[in-house]
Amino acid sequence: MGFLSKQGFQSRQQITAFLTVVFSGQIIYSAFESFKIPFYQQLVDYYGLTDTQFGFLFTMLGVAVFFYIPAGWVNNRFHVRQVLIAGLAYRLLTALILILLRPSFPIMLVITFTWGILDAIFWPAVVKGVVLFSGKDNKGVGFGILTAFRAGGEAILNGIVIGVMVIFNGAMLAFQSMMVLYALLTVPMIALVYFCVPADPTTEGDFSEDHDVVALSSKEALQGLIKTLRHPRIWLAGMAGLCVYWVYTTLVYTTPFFVRVYHMSQGTASTYATANALILGLGGGLLGGYIADYIFKSSTLTLGITLCLSGAIMMILVFVPGDSSWTIPALIIMSTTAFVIMMAKALQQAPVAELHLPTEMVGSAMSVNSFMAFASILWAMPINGMILDSFPTDPKTAFNYIFMLMLVVAAVGAACAFFLYFLIKRDVAKEKVKNS
């Protein structure tokens, strides 16, 4: 068990369940969403879309924010394994339709709209699984592993696609075939969830043979959701998470940034973006979780610090010249940006775990938190797409506007995180006085 046993995992069954949940949270997105960074241009070309249209597809995915709150009832009522199996099966069917039939843009909008509804249920189930199946006192590491392993898995899968594209000289048929193959990965993932993920335990990390299983009626699940909606700190944590994800969307434009501003080849830029995701995403996720648990002793405080650093680096990018002689410095700075942002993203939803909510509220809490944390998908990419389309002959100016906007967003998120940390520490101090 090694490293994971030191992070509060008590058995191989617990590790297997935890990792299965983690990887199901990546595989479901591997045939489309995961391609948006290294294969942004290929996706646009494959479907014949403009930058703005591509942004609107992700707006449809972003409708999840309107369903996260009612999805809280679903995640209170049903176990993690049930939600994951149903979600993976639906995505398999619709992904094959999208990839093989290459429908018109309106139909693509409809499909991605249904994916948004599904995501409102599926993703909270993933993070609920991380909370229930990770070490009780090491949630920072648990969420860090979620981000790191998802980033590493995504980068490996995308790296394979890059290799295939090189072998077949960038043929679209090869790109289509790889999307189909990745859609089919949901089949073995469904089997793993079925056999490896148990029913939800009432106590986090409890994998004993006689452990109690959560069993809520529809009424009890609704009551848990109502209690969650009345919890202001869940909303504050969500606001910080919203800013993290908004800043994170900047990484989607890594490939077009270097292709359009520094005239880098598509293949080189895609390889760089994938290497960033693998090395920096994996490292940033693990380091972010480790620092949160063992150095700052708080995911919330660490989140605020990483957001401050992200904003500072965004400002540096504004002042980097857009001529080819500055390509290497730009690559280094962008890599630093990706590393810090991935540290923040690893902890995006971890502050909720620091609130130590009752198990029967975890599902709805993660749904409400996700409602806030991912709300920016509604507007972030469309805004960025319109900015880029507004400066077709001056991409550096367009990206400068994007970077300056992200500086402001990061500052707001940091302020929310620091305030939440103050509230948590105040409560801990009061509890110590009460018990002394």
Percent of the chain predicted with pLDDT > 90 = 27
Tell me the whole-structure pTM to 2 decimals: 0.74
Alpha-helical (H) ranges within 320-374 are 327-346, 350-353, 359-373
Per the model's pLDDT, the better-predicted residue between 80 and 273 turns out to be: 80
Asked whether the beta carbons of 9 and 18 are under 8 A apart, the reply is: yes
Percent of the chain predicted with pLDDT > 70 = 91
Overall average pLDDT of the 285-314 stretch: 87
Overall average pLDDT of the 66-72 stretch: 84
173-179: Cβ within 8 A, 24+ apart: 175/39, 175/42, 175/46, 176/46, 176/99, 176/100, 179/31, 179/32, 179/35, 179/95, 179/99
Per the model's pLDDT, the better-predicted residue between 203 and 326 turns out to be: 326
Is domain 15-198+228-352+360-428 annotated with CATH 1.10.1050.10?
A: no
What's residue 4's pLDDT? 60
Domains of the chain, by residue range, sit at 15-198+228-352+360-428
Distances (CA, A) of 7 to 4, 27, 293: 5, 24, 10
DSSP labels, 267-304? HHHHHHHHHIIIIIHHHHHHHHHHHHHHTSS-HHHHHH
Overall average pLDDT of the 37-58 stretch: 82
Residues 131-183 pLDDT 10s:
888 766 677 777 888 877 777 777 788 888 888 888 888 788 888 888 899 99
What's residue 207's pLDDT? 61
Residues 323-375 pLDDT 10s:
888 999 999 999 998 889 888 888 888 888 777 777 667 778 888 888 888 78
Residue type, 318: V
* Angle between the N-to-C axes of helices 105-133 and 359-373, in degrees from 0 to 180, rounded to the nearest 10: 140
Q: How confident is the model at residue 5 (pLDDT cuts 50, 70, 90)?
A: low
What's residue 372's pLDDT? 84
What burial class does residue 160 get, using C-beta atoms within 10 Å of its C-beta: 0-12 exposed, 13-18 middle, 19+ buried?
middle
Between the ranges 57-66, 122-131, 137-146, where is the mean pLDDT highest? Answer: 122-131
Residue 37, phi then psi, degrees to nearest 5 = -85, -60
What's residue 88's pLDDT? 95
Is 209's pLDDT higher than 80? Answer: no
Overall average pLDDT of the 299-317 stretch: 93
Q: How confident is the model at residue 417 (pLDDT cuts 50, 70, 90)?
A: very high
Q: How confident is the model at residue 111 (pLDDT cuts 50, 70, 90)?
A: very high
Q: Please state, as a whole number, how many other Cβ atoms lie within 10 Å of the Cβ of residue 29.
A: 21
Instruction: For residues 184 and 178, give the distance between their C-alpha atoms in angstroms, rounded to a whole number.
Output: 10
What does the H/E/C string look like for 206-239? CCCCCCCECCCCHHHHHHHHHHHHCCHHHHHHHH
Q: What angle do CA 263, 46, 337 make, to 5 degrees?
A: 45
Instruction: For residues 142 and 119, give the distance between their C-alpha atoms in angstroms, rounded to a whole number.
Output: 21
Q: How confident is the model at residue 399 (pLDDT cuts 50, 70, 90)?
A: very high
Assign residue 49 a region (left: φ > 0; alpha: ψ between -120 and 50; beta: otherwise).
Answer: beta
